Structure 1
Amino acid sequence: MDEAACIFCEIAADGSAGHRVFEDATAVAFLDARPLFPGHVLVVPRRHAETLTDLSAEEVGPFFARVQRIAGAVERGMGATGSFVAANNRVSQSVPHFHVHVVPRNRKDGLRGFFWPRGRYASDEEAAEVAARVRAALTAGPGDAGPVP
């Protein structure tokens, strides 16, 4: 997607309406136009990046420090007992600009854990095979950010 056509880039550049709650050189946070609950905030990197893997290693820490700060503010500001913090990466990403949802949560608020059905691995062998595939992808593959410290 062209950065010029990105609604989140427009909001970050003050070119489009958005109820901002935070902004600095790293990130912009604003109310979701279609919230799960009042106080549902989207945190976006100011620089256009379509997915988490498009952020540089140097950008990830400062960006998620802002997400952490916003999560605390949402909980305090909305009188919530907790929050749900999540991001889609391509699949189900309604706007192709990386964004993190921060949703205030309270017990019996109507949401049930994750929003999709969960299952189990058929066997320990299957789980071991899946784990091996992910480990192998960590050492060789596109988007490899290098070894984990």
Structure 2
Amino acid sequence: MAYTLDRDPCPESPRLGAMTLDPTPESVPRARRWFQKFIAPYNPACSIDDCALMLSELVTNAILYGWSDDPWTVQVEWYRDGNSLRVEVHNPGLPANVRLRSADASDAHGRGLLLVDSIADSWHVGPSRFGGTVVSFILADVWVG
């Protein structure tokens, strides 16, 4: 089980935390628990449970849709950008494969990005600096002042 959690060694950096996760289903609840534990000391004025829910949806998608011929991991990072919280999930999949779907009531899957779209102030998909795809969400006004 390869996962790490670290803080940015540079105190001027807006990165608050990061995780490296195996692309396995067990990583989803682990990401949720670790995020909740390590974001709480920053006292965000938002629902940590909502953030953890969106994070777990993005990690689930990264695991389901990421791929590589070589062994790979899912990278998760969260940042303070001014008064906003930005959470990024990176995987080696293709950005073109990420899309907002409209799931039918009988569909068991397909609501992850819809959930993120409805809770977050904004979300983004694009090429990851690690190669592959990054999907991120932003919550505005998480820190006042």
Give the alignment's TM-score, normalised by structure 1: 0.34
Q: Which has the higher strand share?
A: 2
Q: What is the TM-score with the length of structure 2 in the denominator?
A: 0.35
Structure of greater Rg: 1
